[in-house]
Structure 1
Amino acid sequence: MGGAVSAGEDNDDLIDNLKEAQYIRTDKVEQAFRAIDRGDYYLEGYRDNAYKDLAWKHGNIHLSAPCIYSEVMEALNLQQGLSFLNLGSGTGYLSTMVGLIIGPFGVNHGVELHKDVVDYAKDRLEEFIRNSDSFDKFEFCEPSFVVGNCLEISSDSHQYDRIYCGAGVQKDHENYMKVMLKVGGILVMPIEDQLTQITRTGQSSWESKNILAVSFAPLVQQSRNDGSKPDAVVLPPFSVRTLQDIARIYIRRTVRNLVNEEALSKGPVQRVPQKRKRRRCRPPRINTYVFVGNQLIPEPMESEEDERIEKESKEEEQDKDTVEPLKPEEPQVNLLRDKILNLPLPEPLKVYLLYYREK
């Protein structure tokens, strides 16, 4: 599924379109989407498609359409300190955004069938932590990924506050998913071609709400020729942070608050002028994307309204040539990093407070 909003030129442009189409509706979800550049999760040579509202698949690597992730993030109703399980965690794009909202005292686990995809997700996560300035603007719950089939999770595993399944769930697996959810928790998954939000209201009671019509590849069911059962997937433990790590979290929080107070005392931040006249956003409409073998085949539904908006978009693109060029933007300064580096502390402690970041 995808194609509900106009294509963007960069990550901020994509988020603007998702907001205009009402897929992103809350500030915390918007902030998480802006902090993680979707293009960073694409392979080299494919990044030009990163800011289109389309799913992408290359081998085992897969990303759902941005409008799907937006609806999932909103439906999960994430809060600080919650536990989250991502079934079919893929590239880690969604798990990383979740980690920015649930914070350092949450739990962030992912299960992915393919080892090469888990390795890819770990590389993307390390790149984010080491090189993205967004990492210093949030308190982060680092995702932990394991290889395995999410239909073979050990029966004695923990229950979670929030669960998302990124593959189509058959009706006979619905209860299997539900029992992993804590009372009061929320499960979001595609079932019978509907992205569905399920809230556990009691030990044996749930409330369901359909969010969006979708088409997902189904969950993979493993079988053994010799009749033996596949190995159970053991999820990571709910570990307690060390005193040393807690100290780092609170020191960084204190410094970040100080930086924010200093910025406020200097007056409101000047917004960067709009760099261009942005293309008009299409109203939400449903396109279906179906897997055929290893290919993702779009089946768009066009309308007269789509044609009209496309025509207006082309006219706006022509008009932008008459707009005066903007001055080059000055690079943003990582104020938290600068403040830590200027503290009267031993260098090894500064490096530790910066999470051994490279920039």
Structure 2
Amino acid sequence: MGGAVSAGEDNDDLIDNLKEAQYIRSERVEQAFRAIDRGDYYLDGYRDTAYKDLAWKHGNIHLSAPCIYSEVMEALMLQQGLSFLNLGSGTGYLSTMVGLIIGPFGVNHGVELHKDVVEYARERLDDFVKTSDSFDRFELCEPQFVVGNCLDISSDSHQYDRIYCGAGVQKAHENYMKIMLKVGGILVMPVEDQLTQITRTGQSSWESKNILPVSFTPLVQQSRPDAIKRDTVDLPPVSVRSLQDLSRIYVRRTLRFLTNEESRCRGLPAHKPPQKRKRRRCRQRCINTYVFVGNQLIPQPVESEEDECIEEELKDKEEEKEKEEEDATETLKAEEPQVNLLRDRILSLPLPESLKTYLLYYREK
């Protein structure tokens, strides 16, 4: 499913389209979408389709349409410190966006059936942490992925505040999914061709709300002889962070705050917003026509397109203006290269190189 919004030329253009179509409605969801380039989760040679509102599949690797992910992110109503379980975590694209919102003191787990996809997701996560400047603008709860069938999760596993299932759930498995949810928690999953938001209101009570019609591949049910015991999936343990890790989080948080405050004092934005493209508008003119209502002839305005020659002239002028804006933007970028302020601040500290490297998460960039 997809194609609900116009195709974008890059990630920011795609997000603009999703906002305009009201799929992205909150600032925190918008920030998460802008921080992670969807194209980075595509294989080489397929990136030209990354910013279309369409699902993509290559072998076992699969990405849902952007409009689906945005509705899921909004429906989950994410907050800092929550625990999240992604059933059918795939490339890790959604899990990483969730991690930017729930922050370092949340829990972020994913279960994926295919081992090669889990390896791919870990590679994409590692690339984001080590190479993306967006990583330094957030405090990430890094996803942990395990291989297994999400229908075989151990019965004594802990419960979660938020759960998403990225495959079609049959009615027979609906209660199985609900039991993994904490009271007050939210579960989002496709049920009978409807993306559904389920809120657990009590020990044995839930409220359901249909979000939009969807078409998902159903959950894979492994068929094995009864004599063969199926392997259970053990989710990662929820553990307390080490003192060393907590120190890194708080040092980086303090430096990020001080750097942003200094930028504001100098009248500079901490992070430049992406350049917005002006959308071409189709000018229309009003003409009068007449319609019969009963036995009366009534004048009525009707919208029609401008004459073809005027339309072409306007189009040429707008294209020329857009080209000038793009050239000006490129010149500005060349004169004012993007700077990772947090990274520069850490590198300027009078600290041993090994400690700087640790504070930078051993980043390559």
Provide TM-score, normalisation by structure 1. Answer: 0.88
2 CA distance for matches of 1:122 and 1:314?
Answer: 50
1:338 alignment counterpart: 344
2 CA distance for matches of 1:210 and 1:179?
Answer: 19
In the alignment, is residue 186 of structure 1 matched against residue 162 of structure 2? Answer: no
In the alignment, is residue 347 of structure 1 matched against residue 353 of structure 2? Answer: yes
In 2 relative to 1, CA 272–143 (structure 1 residues): closer, same or farther, beyond 3 Å?
Answer: closer
In 2 relative to 1, CA 318–211 (structure 1 residues): closer, same or farther, beyond 3 Å?
Answer: farther
2:49 alignment counterpart: 49
How is 1:8-157 mapped onto 2 (pairs within 5 angstroms)? 8-157=8-157
2:295 alignment counterpart: none
In 2 relative to 1, CA 333–108 (structure 1 residues): closer, same or farther, beyond 3 Å?
Answer: same
State the one-letter code of the partner of 1:81. G
Residue deviations 1:290-341 (CA, integer Å, cap 9, x gap): xxxxxxxxxxxxxxxxxx9xx9x99987554211232422331000000000
Task: Compute the displacement of 1:239 (Å).
Answer: 1.3
Q: Which runs of 5+ in 1 are unaligned?
A: 281-307
2 CA distance for matches of 1:180 and 1:272?
Answer: 39
Task: Compute the displacement of 1:346 (Å).
Answer: 1.1
Report the structure number with the largest CA radius of gyration. 2
In 2 relative to 1, CA 112–19 (structure 1 residues): closer, same or farther, beyond 3 Å?
Answer: same
Any conservation in 2 of the 1:168–1:219 contact (CA below 8 Å)?
A: yes
2 CA distance for matches of 1:133 and 1:29?
Answer: 18
State the one-letter code of the partner of 2:53. D
2 CA distance for matches of 1:315 and 1:59?
Answer: 47
SS of aligned partner of 1:168: coil
Task: Compute the displacement of 1:230 (Å).
Answer: 1.6
In 2 relative to 1, CA 272–120 (structure 1 residues): closer, same or farther, beyond 3 Å?
Answer: closer
Any conservation in 1 of the 2:153–2:232 contact (CA below 8 Å)?
A: yes
How is 1:292-331 mapped onto 2 (pairs within 5 angstroms)? 319-323=317-321, 324=324, 325-328=327-330, 329=333, 330-331=336-337
Task: Compute the displacement of 1:59 (Å).
Answer: 0.4
Give the number of aligned pairs: 329
Any conservation in 2 of the 1:152–1:233 contact (CA below 8 Å)?
A: yes
Any conservation in 1 of the 2:83–2:162 contact (CA below 8 Å)?
A: yes
2 CA distance for matches of 1:80 and 1:275?
Answer: 29
In 2 relative to 1, CA 318–73 (structure 1 residues): closer, same or farther, beyond 3 Å?
Answer: farther
How is 1:246-257 mapped onto 2 (pairs within 5 angstroms)? 246-257=246-257
1 CA distance for matches of 2:179 and 2:232?
Answer: 16
- Pick which of 93-102 and 226-235 moved more: 226-235
Residue deviations 1:331-356 (CA, integer Å, cap 9, x gap): 31000000000011111111110010
SS of aligned partner of 2:152: coil
SS of aligned partner of 1:151: helix
Residue deviations 1:114-136 (CA, integer Å, cap 9, x gap): 00000000000000000000110
Task: Compute the displacement of 1:262 (Å).
Answer: 0.5
Question: Which segments of structure 1 move beyond 2 Å, counting only runs of 4 or more?
Answer: 268-280, 313-321
Any conservation in 1 of the 2:280–2:318 contact (CA below 8 Å)?
A: no
Provide TM-score, normalisation by structure 2. Answer: 0.86
In 2 relative to 1, CA 192–98 (structure 1 residues): closer, same or farther, beyond 3 Å?
Answer: same
2:214 alignment counterpart: 214
SS of aligned partner of 1:206: strand
Task: Compute the displacement of 1:149 (Å).
Answer: 0.2
SS of aligned partner of 2:150: coil
State the one-letter code of the partner of 1:321. E
1 CA distance for matches of 2:207 and 2:343?
Answer: 45
Any conservation in 2 of the 1:223–1:230 contact (CA below 8 Å)?
A: no
Any conservation in 2 of the 1:276–1:320 contact (CA below 8 Å)?
A: no
1:277 alignment counterpart: 278
State the one-letter code of the partner of 2:78. L
1 CA distance for matches of 2:248 and 2:29?
Answer: 26
2 CA distance for matches of 1:243 and 1:135?
Answer: 21
**Greater relative CO, 1 or 2 (CA 8 Å, sep 6+):** 1
Task: Compute the displacement of 1:229 (Å).
Answer: 3.1
Task: Compute the displacement of 1:272 (Å).
Answer: 6.6
2 CA distance for matches of 1:49 and 1:20?
Answer: 20
